[in-house]
Amino acid sequence: MLPCHCPSCQTSLIVKEMLCEGCSTEVHGRFKLPILAELSVEEQNFVLSFVKNSGSLKEMAKQLSLSYPSVRNLLDEIIEKIKKLEHHE
């Protein structure tokens, strides 16, 4: 998993350098991580499953063996987290 927060102070990390594996081109700068990368692995997996299930909470509930309201609550929590992350950009 890509680290998104400093292990020492928990401040959000930025990307400073990128490397192309094909031609070894290096890109240097200060780049913010995408918001979805700042979600936990579990939250990222939920979002991926949600998209794969065409946004059907009913299908998500079946897949996760949870009630519809429980899946709705999980989605609402992720939405709120994304909104907070957007305001910190």
**Contact indicator for 27, 18 with CB cutoff of 8 Å:** yes
Residue of 68, 3, 81, 76 lying closest to 37 (CA atoms) = 3
pTM of the predicted model over 0.85: no
pLDDT score recorded for residue 89: 63
Taken as a whole, the chain contains a residue count of 89
| Complete DSSP assignment for 20-80 | -TTT--EEEEEEEPPGGGGS-HHHHHHHHHHHHTTT-HHHHHHHHT--HHHHHHHHHHHHH
pLDDT digits (tens, 9 = 90+) for 30-80: 998 888 988 988 999 999 999 999 999 999 999 999 999 999 999 999 999
The structure tokens listed for 82 are 């994304």
